[in-house]
Amino acid sequence: MTLSESAAAPVDEVVLEAVGLTKHFPVRRRLRDLFSRTPAVVHAVDDVSFALRRGRVTALVGESGSGKSTVARLLAQIHPRTAGDIRLHGTSTRVRGGRRFRSYVRRVQLILQDPFASLNPVHTVRYHLTRSLRIHGNAGRGAEDLEAALGKLLTRVSLTPPERYLDAFPHELSGGQRQRVAIARALGADPEVLLADEPVSMLDVSIRLGVLNLLQDLTQRLDIAILYITHDIASARYFADETIVMYAGRMVEGGDSETVTQRPAHPYTRLLTDSAPDPERITGDGAGAAAGADRGQGEPPSLIAPPSGCRFHPRCPHAMRRCTTDLPPRLDIGDRPGHWAACWLYDPDTVAADAPGSAAPDADPTVPPPAPAVARDDTATPREAR
Ligand SMILES: Nc1ncnc2c1ncn2[C@@H]1O[C@H](COP(=O)(O)OP(=O)(O)OP(=O)(O)O)[C@@H](O)[C@H]1O
């Protein structure tokens, strides 16, 4: 059993990378579609790229249906990808079961939202953890090694003394304790990456913080890279080093968590932050005039026929003609290193050619556009971030 508190590997080293990751799910055809040349697909994830680093938490934030769980399942190699690449320590990986899949899973573990569903109710904590340790070759040589490894796992997730929990069944534990067992089971593989898909959303608000603190502690002590998937952008600020925002299958904004959550640049991120009030937030648009009305409303689009151009344009109060036709690239915002948004508002030429809001669904000339980030730092010029 290793669970090593690694000292040798450099912090910030990229462990796992998504490169142009794309997933289209086929849609069952209806009779009238049979003669169509292009089969219908759900554009669940399109061109998603980011890196998970040792000892760091990256949050993937977005509304329900934005593609977050699909990204996690692609990275866990549960779904085959349609296009793009997954690189583990720089090496392209595609595994479909068998020994190579087991070896991948040993390094990249997925934690699901519902710990009750992921733990078999007829088996004890001891069974679940022993199985994980054995499958991943971390159970040691004999009964004593195994007992020590079990104790270490439970201590690692603060379920102490271990003997109190080892022979308990899942229904005898609270939701938070069950999620800790699920995390301990993932740690039984001694992984380098944890993909945590909404790990606290099914838990009582009062115990969420404890589980998030535990995950944060693991990144620091074990140098694990964590992908934290959530629809709660406020928790990303607290918990993640970096935050990436997804809308309708595409990444729309990214940067360090403090900046993305406190100075959101993309109108969609602003919509998200408005629905998760945070008294400390600096709005970045002067007096915060027309907050709410100026953020965009409506429903996410169909992913079978997603909107052309920027997928957010049908909801965006600042949409310009170009937003309806051209996909915006990642543009540097210029307020903090690494802060970008895929939004034409940050391209001075586009804004000069067409007034923000001119192609908005219910264009309201009284609603001011968001202050472009360049106004916060005159020395910076937006430029393509990739
Ligand atoms: N196996 C599948 N077959 C067809 N479509 C799918 C499949 N899995 C996901 N989708 C679709 O892909 C899109 C993205 O779903 P996904 O679950 O990744 O979003 P999400 O952001 O994780 O949402 P939630 O927070 O509700 O889980 C949705 O439109 C969903 O209906």
ipTM value for the complex: 0.97
Q: State the helix-helix crossing angle for 125-135 and 175-187, rounded to 10 degrees.
A: 20
Task: Return the residue whose CA atom lies nearest to atom 10 of ligand 1.
Answer: 44
Higher pLDDT, 115 or 286: 115
To test ligand 1's pocket by mutation, which of 24, 43, 69 has the most ligand atoms within 8 angstroms of CB? Answer: 69
**Distance of CA 71 from the midpoint of ligand 1 (Å):** 10
The span from the CA of 96 to the CA of 103, in Å, is 11
Q: Look at the block and give the residue holding tokens 């692609």.
A: 74
User: Which tens digit of pLDDT belongs to each residue from 3-40?
Assistant: 444 444 555 799 999 999 999 999 876 655 666 666 78
Residues 6 or more apart from 334 whose CB is under 8 A from it?
373, 374, 376, 377, 380, 381, 382
- Name the strands in the sheet holding 225-230, side by side, starting at the edge strand that comes first in the sequence: 108-111, 193-197, 225-230, 57-61, 242-247, 250-256, 340-341, 331-332
Inter-residue contact 292 to 272 (CB < 8 Å): no
Is the pLDDT confidence value at 384 over 80? no
Distances (CA, A) of 14 to 72, 123, 160: 17, 37, 33
Task: Give percent of the chain above pLDDT 90.
Answer: 68
Residue 230 CB less than 6 A away from ligand 1: no
For the chain, domains (ranges, CATH) are 14-26+40-239 (3.40.50.300), 242-376 (3.40.50.300)
Residue 67 CB less than 6 A away from ligand 1: yes
The mean pLDDT value for 62-71 works out to 95
Structure tokens at 188: 């039984």
**Distance of CA 381 from the midpoint of ligand 1 (Å):** 37
Inter-residue contact 19 to 86 (CB < 8 Å): yes
The mean pLDDT value for 244-251 works out to 98
Q: What is the reported pLDDT for 296?
A: 54
To test ligand 1's pocket by mutation, which of 23, 42, 200 has the most ligand atoms within 8 angstroms of CB? Answer: 42
Residue 382 CB less than 6 A away from ligand 1: no
Q: What is the pTM of this model?
A: 0.86
Q: What is the reported pLDDT for 287?
A: 34
Q: What is the reported pLDDT for 374?
A: 40
Residue 303 CB less than 6 A away from ligand 1: yes
User: Which tens digit of pLDDT belongs to each residue from 137-174?
Assistant: 999 899 999 999 999 999 999 999 999 999 999 999 99
Both ends of the chain: CA-CA distance in Å? 41
Q: What is the reported pLDDT for 376?
A: 37
